[in-house]
């Protein structure tokens, strides 16, 4: 198991960084930042390292939005010096993912210096990367250590803090989909990691008011929860504990907006709003009686492969072949396989209902989001009505995972 040591959240993170690199004998660094994060913390880290005589190169990305895509990955590779060095990611989600990928693929380690509690990927091994317009998570590496300055975090823009909260409570349905996937689709499951993730969710909900006010205590609780979620993914070896149907919809919206507008919205903000929709779907499942569910199962038929491929082409255009490969396990189901899935749903119907019963109502989720100033409606997020439904219709094709969307399709429960 990969160990990240230390993980520090407190005052004077740069001072702790200096102590760490001296102790480990590190001497050469490439700081990766954007213009905002360089001003917030990167410049200070660079000056402090140079003052101690270290060799430091700063790679400061420019642009209105920084994405972990081919452009910024290649730019980082080109600007990074060759030879032994340690990358330092100074930023939030995209900067960390860019650094994680480049450091891993070039065989060099990295250290994290988060500047906003906006995502849960600081301590994970997965790097969500956009390649040829398709968002996919590649397994890379965890940081050697993480040093988060509480004053910098608390002074991050409100929208970034709210995004971190949205990303964190999105795990409500991530966990529900994961448990259901273990029952119906034989997905690997870990009760202890699920328990830890749930405890992290509970912590941010209990501190929602303080998080909304940007108090150091509230921001610390949020950052601790995001770090714990990342560690859960690290320990499990995949993103499954923290990513379900709510993330699939968010990924789809991001891909489409990048393709059509050249820019997207904050990941966590999208996840928070998507959560309101996925909890609506779980509410529909809760309303089904066993008799109704069994009747629906009896009438369920295996989706036609050609029809599914047509839907994928409608939703993804020139990316369809890549998506179809990712979705192959579902596309390749035969009648016997589909009957097995239906039988497992029937055998575990009470379990599925218990899972659904533990998912908060959409109204509860909207209340949490509003409490921290996060978008709780499509309009507040910046999505048009025409953009919303496709995230639910097509998003589930992005991952070979079972979810409430796939369950709803089998049971012929309306999704939109």
pLDDT digits (tens, 9 = 90+) for 35-44: 999 999 999 9
The edge-to-edge listing of strands for the beta sheet with 86-91 is 7-10, 146-149, 110-114, 86-91, 28-34, 55-61
pLDDT of residue 1: 52
pLDDT of residue 259: 87
Question: How many Cβ atoms sit within 10 Å of the Cβ of residue 254?
Answer: 21
pLDDT of residue 3: 87
Positions in the chain whose pLDDT score sits under 70: 1
Specify the 3-state DSSP secondary structure of 415. Answer: coil
pLDDT of residue 416: 76
CA distance 403 to 393: 12
- Percentages helix, strand, coil for the chain (3-state, rounded to 5) are 60, 10, 25
CB 95 within 8 A of CB 204: no
Which CATH code fits 7-155? 3.40.50.1970
CB 129 within 8 A of CB 137: yes
pLDDT of residue 136: 86
List helix spans (H) across 207-348. Answer: 208-212, 216-236, 245-261, 267-286, 290-299, 305-316, 320-326, 328-331, 335-347
Q: What is the mean pLDDT of the chain?
A: 96
Buried b (16+ CB within 10 A) or exposed e, 133-150: bebbbbebbbbbbbbbbb
Domains of the chain, by residue range, sit at: 7-155, 162-410
Task: Please name the residues in contact with 343: beta carbons below 8 A apart, sequence gap of 6 or more.
Answer: none
Q: Do domains 7-155 and 162-410 have the same CATH topology?
A: no
Whole-model pTM? 0.94
Task: Please name the residues in contact with 264: beta carbons below 8 A apart, sequence gap of 6 or more.
Answer: 65, 67, 253, 254, 257, 258, 270
> Which segments within 62-125 are labelled E, that is strand?
86-91, 110-114
pLDDT tens, 157-168?
999 999 999 999
pLDDT of residue 222: 98
Say which CATH topology domain 162-410 has. Dehydroquinate synthase-like, alpha domain (1.20.1090)
Block residue for tokens 């990240």: 4
- 28: which strand partners? 55
């Amino acid at each position: 198991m990969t160990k990240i040591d230390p993980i520090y959240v407190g005052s004077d993170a740069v001072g702790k960084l200096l102590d760490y690199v001296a102790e480990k004998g590190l001497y050469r660094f490439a700081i990766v930042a954007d213009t905002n994060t360089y001003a917030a913390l990167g410049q200070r880290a660079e000056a402090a390292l140079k003052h101690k005589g270290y060799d430091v190169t700063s790679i400061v990305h420019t642009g209105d939005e920084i994405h972990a895509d081919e452009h910024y990955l290649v730019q980082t590779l080109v600007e990074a010096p060759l030879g032994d060095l340690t990358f330092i990611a100074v930023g939030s989600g995209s900067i960390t993912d860019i650094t994680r990928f480049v450091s891993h693929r070039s065989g060099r380690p990295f250290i994290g210096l988060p500047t906003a509690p906006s995502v849960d990927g600081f301590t994970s091994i997965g790097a969500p990367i956009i390649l040829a317009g398709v968002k996919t998570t590649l397994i890379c590496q965890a940081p050697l250590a993480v040093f988060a300055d509480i004053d910098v975090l608390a002074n991050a823009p409100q929208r970034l803090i709210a995004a971190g909260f949205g990303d964190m409570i999105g795990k409500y349905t991530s966990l529900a989909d994961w448990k259901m996937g273990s029952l119906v689709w034989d997905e690997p499951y870990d009760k202890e990691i699920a328990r830890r993730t749930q405890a992290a969710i509970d912590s941010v909900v209990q501190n929602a008011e303080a998080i909304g006010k940007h108090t150091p205590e509230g921001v610390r609780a949020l950052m601790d929860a995001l770090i714990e979620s990342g560690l859960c993914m690290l320990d499990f070896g995949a993103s499954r504990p923290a990513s379900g149907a709510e993330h699939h919809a968010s990924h789809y919206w991001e891909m489409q907006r990048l393709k059509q507008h050249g820019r997207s919205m904050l990941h966590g903000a999208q996840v928070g709003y998507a959560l309101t929709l996925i909890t609506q779907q779980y509410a529909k499942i809760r309303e089904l009686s066993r008799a109704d569910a069994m009747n629906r199962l009896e009438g369920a038929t295996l989706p036609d492969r050609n029809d599914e491929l047509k839907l994928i082409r409608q939703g993804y255009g020139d990316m369809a072949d890549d998506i179809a490969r990712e979705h192959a396990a579902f596309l390749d189901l035969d009648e016997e396989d589909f009957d097995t899935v239906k039988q497992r749903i029937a055998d575990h119907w009470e379990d599925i209902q218990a899972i659904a019963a533990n998912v908060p109502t959409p109204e509860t989720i909207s209340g949490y989001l509003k409490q921290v100033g996060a978008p709780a409606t499509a309009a507040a997020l910046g999505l048009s009505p025409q953009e919303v439904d496709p995230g639910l219709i097509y998003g589930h094709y992005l991952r070979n995972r079972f979810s409430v969307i796939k369950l709803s399709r089998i049971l012929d429960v309306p999704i939109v």
